[in-house]
Amino acid sequence: MLHPRDRTGWSDSSARDVLQLMVESVAELVGFRVAALSVVIGDELVTTAYTGPQELDEDAWASDPAAVLEEVLEVAEPRGRLHFIDGERQHDLAGHWIVTLEEPGKGPDAWHPLDGLLAVLRDDDEAPVGVLSVDQPVSGRRPGPEQLRLLERYAAQAERAVVTTLEREALLARVEHAERARGLVRSAALGTDGTLEDVVESTHRPLVEGFAASASWVQVADGDGTAGGPARLRDGTPVTLPDVVGEVARRIAPTLWARQEALVVDPGRDGDLPAGLEPELVEAAREGLAWLGPARLLGVPLGAGPKVLGFLVLTRRPGDPAWSPAETAAALELGHDLGAALATAYALERERRVVHELQELAEERARLVATLTHELRTPLTVVAGNLEMLEDLGTSPEAQRHHTALARGTERMQQIVDDMLLLARVSDPTHPLVARDVDVALVVADLQALIAPTALAEGLALVVDVEGDDLVVAGDHDEVDRALGNLVSNAVKYTGRGGTVRVSARRERDRVVIEVRDDGIGISDDDQRRLFRAFYRSSNPAALRQPGTGLGLVTVAHIAERHGGSVTLRSELGAGTVFTLGLPAAHC
C-alpha cells in the first residue's frame, strides 16, 4: 500500500473518526487485514485512516507527493474503478510502496507481497482527492469479482465521504480566515480618524499578517480618478508601482466587482483575466503583470453596493504557498468590508469638505458685509458732510468745491452699486444667458476708442492686435464688453507711466482668445490664489493706492463661466501680468 502519513491537522476530529471507521469496515467486510485511506492535502498525499495487524515504524510514515499517483497508475491494471498492481511484474515502486507481507502465498492466484489494490477517489471535476488501498487479503488470494464489486461500493462511499470532508474543512478554514482578517481590518479602520489615507495605512499590517502576504497595495478611487499610497512590503517598506499597474487596477476593478471574481496570478501565468476585456486592456494587464515578476498575486475589487471604490492587491513570493480557494473567497468578502470602510471615509471626507466650504462661505459673507459697509459708508459720509456744508455756504466758491467732492463720492458709490448689480446678475443661475453673435473685433475697437485717451493721459502705450475676421462668439454683447473692459482698465490702472498695455485677439480652433498683457506692478503668488474672490483687494501697497471695489475680476470670471469659457492669469510681482480670456467661437 502507499506510504501513510497522519498529519492533516484537520480542525474537526469527528471527520477523521468517520473515515477511520470506514477503513476498518472495508478491511473487515471485504476481507483484508490492512486498509488505508489517503487524502490529497495541497501537494502531498496524507494518510488519515489506517487499520492493520501491526504498527509501522517512523520510516514507513514518510510522506509522498501527490504526483506519485500518476506513477502508480501507469503500472497498474484497471479493474473497473479499481487498480491492481501485479507485484510479480512490477518492482520499480520501491520507496512509495509499503510491504506488509513477508512471503507470498501458495497457488497460482496467491497474493504477492508486492501486490497492490487501490481505488483513486475523485471530486466532481475528476481531480484526485484521495486513495483507498488494501493489502493482505484474509484468504491469501487475489480478490475475485465479488470482492472487487464490494470494494468498489466502499470506494464510492469513501470518495463521497472524503469530498464532503474536504469541502467542510475548506469552508471552516474560509470562515475562520475571513473572520480573523475581517476583524483585524475592521479594528484597524475603526482606529483611524476616517480619512482615506489613514484607512489605507492602518490596514496594511492586518492584511499582510492575516493573509500571510509579502506585500499589500490598496488603490482607492477619488473625485479625479484614483489615488492610493505606494505598495508596501511586509515590513512596511514602500515600493513605487508604475502607472500601468494603477491603470490596469482602475479599469479591471468594475468588471471583477460586477462578477465578484478575484484575479489570481501564479509564476509563469498571465493570470485568470476576466473574459470580454478589451484587447488593449489585456495587453496592459500583461505588461503590469510582467513588471510584478514571478510573485503570487491575489487582486480583489473593493466596493459597497453597486459602486466600485478601489482595488486590493496581496502578493506572496514564488516559493510561498499558492493562493487557495478559501483565501480567495475570504479576500473577496474582505473587499466588501474594506469597501464599506472606504465608503465611510468618503462620507466623512465629503462632510469635512462641506463643513470647510460652509466655513469659507461664512467668512466670505462676513468679509463681504464688512467691505460693503465700509465702501458705502465712506462716500455716504462725504455726501452727508458736503450737503451740510452746502447748506451753510450757499453758492460761494467754497460751496462749489464741496459740490465737486460730493459729485466724486456719489460717482464712486454709484460705481460700487453698478458693479454689485452686474455681479449679482451674471452669477444668478436663474438668469439665463441669451446668446447672440458678438464680434470681438468690434468690442476691442470700441474699448480702444474709449480707453486710449486715459492711457495717453497716464503716459502709457496702448497696443491693439486683432488677427483675422472670424472672431465671433455666441453670448451677451454687454457682458463680453464689460469683461474685456474690466481687464483692460485694470491693466491701465496698475501700469506705471512709460509702460505698455497690449490687447490681442485671435482664433484658436473652436475658441476666440483675448489676451491683455501689461508690464505693470504684477501680482504676488498669494494674491493670485484669491484674486477672483468678491471684494478681494491686493495686499500690495502700490495696488491699494488705486481706487477699486474688488468686484471687477470676480465679475469677469462669472461672465467667462457663463459663456462656457475661462479666464486665467500669469503674473510675476514687479514684472507685469497677462490675463487670457477664452470664449467658445460661434458656430456658423
CATH of the domain at 377: 1.10.287.130
Say whether both 422 and 468 belong to one domain.
no
Q: Write out the three cell numbers for 485.
A: 473692459
Exposure on the CB side of residue 67, measured as CA atoms within 13 A: 1
Say whether both 458 and 402 belong to one domain.
no
3-state helix/strand/coil string of 305-345:
CCEEEEEEEEEECCCCCCCCHHHHHHHHHHHHHHHHHHHHH
CB 158 within 8 A of CB 22: yes
Q: Does 8 fall in a domain?
A: no
What are the φ/ψ torsions at residue 297 (nearest 5 degrees)?
Answer: -120, 140
**Of 20, 27, 72, which Cα lies nearest the Cα of 45?**
72
Say whether both 345 and 372 belong to one domain.
no
Say whether both 376 and 461 belong to one domain.
no
Say whether both 43 and 152 belong to one domain.
yes
Q: Does 455 fall in a domain?
A: yes
Say whether both 410 and 476 belong to one domain.
no
Q: Does 87 fall in a domain?
A: yes
What are the φ/ψ torsions at residue 269 (nearest 5 degrees)?
Answer: -120, 155
Longest dimension (CA), the chain: 153
Say whether both 346 and 367 belong to one domain.
no
Last residue of a domain, one of 333, 350, 367: 350
Last residue of a domain, one of 329, 350, 371: 350
The predicted pLDDT at position 588 comes to: 53
CB 521 within 8 A of CB 542: yes
Beta carbons within 8 Å of 30's beta carbon, 6+ residues apart: 134, 143, 147, 150, 151, 154
Q: Specify the CATH number for the domain of residue 159.
A: 3.30.450.40
**Of 194, 201, 186, 227, which Cα lies nearest the Cα of 351?**
194
The predicted pLDDT at position 490 comes to: 86
Q: Specify the CATH number for the domain of residue 527.
A: 3.30.565.10
Say whether both 275 and 346 belong to one domain.
yes
Q: Does 23 fall in a domain?
A: yes
Q: Does 219 fall in a domain?
A: yes
Domain count, the chain: 4
Contacts 24+ apart (CB under 8 A), 418-427: 419/549, 419/551, 419/552, 419/555, 420/372, 420/549, 420/551, 422/482, 422/551, 422/555, 423/534, 423/551, 423/554, 423/555, 423/558, 426/479, 426/555, 426/558, 426/559, 426/562, 427/558
Say whether both 35 and 108 belong to one domain.
yes
5: amino acid identity, one letter: R
Last residue of a domain, one of 289, 318, 350: 350
Say whether both 105 and 79 belong to one domain.
yes
Q: Write out the three cell numbers for 188.
A: 484597524
Q: Does 179 fall in a domain?
A: no
Say whether both 441 and 580 belong to one domain.
yes
- Would you write out the chain's pLDDT as a tens digit for each of its 588 residues? 554 444 455 555 667 788 888 888 888 888 998 898 888 887 788 888 888 876 554 444 455 777 788 888 888 888 888 999 887 776 555 555 555 556 666 778 888 888 889 999 988 888 888 889 898 898 888 998 899 999 999 888 888 888 888 877 766 665 565 566 666 666 655 555 556 677 777 778 888 887 888 888 888 875 444 455 567 888 888 888 777 788 888 888 888 898 888 888 876 554 556 666 777 777 777 777 777 677 788 888 988 888 888 888 888 888 788 888 878 888 888 888 888 877 877 777 788 788 788 777 656 655 665 566 566 666 667 776 666 666 666 666 766 666 666 666 666 666 666 666 666 666 666 667 778 899 999 999 999 999 888 888 888 999 999 988 889 998 889 889 989 988 998 888 888 888 999 999 999 988 999 999 998 888 887 777 777 776 655 665 554 455 555 677 888 888 888 889 999 888 888 888 899 999 999 875
**Of 20, 53, 61, 54, which Cα lies nearest the Cα of 37?**
20
**Domain of 114?**
13-171
DSSP annotation of 112 reads P
Q: Does 178 fall in a domain?
A: no
Q: Does 408 fall in a domain?
A: yes
Contacts 24+ apart (CB under 8 A), 141-150: 141/105, 141/107, 141/109, 141/110, 141/111, 142/84, 142/109, 142/110, 142/111, 142/115, 143/30, 143/31, 143/117, 147/30, 147/31, 148/79, 148/80, 148/82, 149/80, 150/29, 150/30
Say whether both 422 and 455 belong to one domain.
no
pTM over 0.85: no
